[in-house]
A and B are shown apart, each in its own frame.
Chain A
Amino acid sequence: MVDPAAPEAVLPALAVLTPAVTAFALPLAHIAGLGRRGVEALALLSSIITGFFSVKLLAAALSDGTPLTYCFGGWPPPLGIFYEVDVTGALLGCLTACLMFLIVLFSVGYMEDDGRLYLYYTLLMVVEAGMLGCFYTGDFFNLFVMIEVTAISSYALVSYLRSDRVAVAASLKYAVYGALATTAYFAATVFAYGSMGTLNMADMHAKIAGIPTPLTGTGFANVGLGLLVFVALALYAFTYKSALFPNHFWLPEAHSSAPTPVSALLSGLVVNVGIYAIVRFTYTVIGGASAVGKYLPIALLATGAASAVIGGLLMNLQRDVKRLIAYSTVMNLGFIALGYGLSTDLGVAAATYHLVTHAVAKAMLFMSAGLAIACVGSRNLSDLEGVGRASPFIGFMIGVSTLTLAGVPPLSVFMSEYALITAMVRAGNYFALAAFLTAYVSGAVAYLKLLYVTCVKPPRKPRTEIRGRGATYSVLTILAVACVALGLLAPLIFRSVFMPAAHTLMNPSQYLKAFLHYASTLTSYSP
């Protein structure tokens, strides 16, 4: 256990509150007369600090082995909001904060100043706070609030260019059905509270496993039907947020019509929130202890296989380059769901690894494609012919990111896909393997087509000079190095980071223990 008086003990709260406070400060700073550069500097500084906190948090979670905890307002769980960060949560939080810093830096070079840029950075900070809150929270209702914070600001970011007809229509589709999904999630929390008498995730796990806890006891005796409705509604909401089949319909439009840094943010990071929520829900809250828990991984396998195949096939039909990349996100989320559905330590570790490598490579592909689109002024694949030959740096970056995503060794996605295949073979799940390979081949064809069109064909359109070279080019260079490093360091980090993350996720006893440590300070109520 981390000592509650130690400086590390407040890290979960600091990491979430830093971007949240910045989000409130940015409009005020704008009113106080801070110009474009000042607003950008403030956003960059805040994302650097948040990144620093998240890295410290990951280091603390890895060295300690038990989840880090924080009670908001000093109220012990299950009474107050309880943050509980295990290795998986800390890892995803670290990925989010680090990639978010690069996205803010890219935006500094990429976004045009239209007089309300401070609102753009405000929304970015709100998304970051929401996502980190989702990864760090140990409370089911706080997860709802954080998912809503993330969701509303993502809807707004999609329609940031409010005169863009496509973007506004895409944002409406995303927001209307998204609001329906989050309302379903709210109903799910009500069902959960009604059947279990608690909303703390560790406490819910104890209720389902039949372990009595202080204050809430064993919950209500018969939770069968309430639990079933709860699982159905929550899964619907999570699959919507993570764009898994059959709730993937909003993603290609929303992700492709947003401004480029926002596309990178949505495809690389925001969808992870839904996946993480499913996994936390499947392995911690339900925990395989009940009859429902046994069927959840099967549902994950089915929806993952469908998303992977549909995403992989539809990638080949796209004429719009950003839509092609968006469908590849659907495919990769299917891969991740397949890995998590295996419910073995290796499968879960490989899925988390793939989540990280995909996030980095996908953000890079969206950014480099965005620069290419800015060069020729069109998103059509046919107009982008030879753009990579006209400007070699962009061509090189598109090349690195497509080859990474197509799974070329020794780049990062190859390593994570290799780990996924190994996990599927070891688990003897040939259904998952067949779906994976079908999607993989289909996706590779689309990636190579993208690479061929942009980098091999002779240039067709005259190119325009792109702005903000320093920031955008350095972000792409960092991401390219990360793609190579995450692949080359695979044997090292897989053993020291991803396997412990999977192990803590699959064994919720530590998670429960950290909760009980605080809950036992409360005396049980007896009428």
Chain B
Amino acid sequence: MSDNLKYTQEHEWLKIEDGNVAVLGITPYAQDALGDLVFVELPELGRKLTKGEHFAVVESVKTAAEVYTPVAGEVVAINDNLSGDPELIKKSLEEGWIAKIKLSDPTELEGLMDRAAYDKFTASLD
């Protein structure tokens, strides 16, 4: 499989828009591990994030999972629809994204996995 997304070992996907904005969500692997989702804590618009900082929390029936950004930048959009319906996260990239981050340093993307590498990574976890 291949797509034009980037992936992290923390099971986030990133879609790059306009070269300098990362749309960020959590992968089906993470969704499956969490089970039914009941709450999403979103970051504030305009918040400046450092690389590796947790900026959102996805809560399932059993646990609260922190979502980390693999890139530094500013939160320029949040998916407010998730407040009313956390399960949207599982629907599609278009409906399930959590936040958009304007990149401070686009070269930080270079260390992230592509789909093939991520599939290999998740296969190694099972």
Q: Is B truly associated with A?
A: no
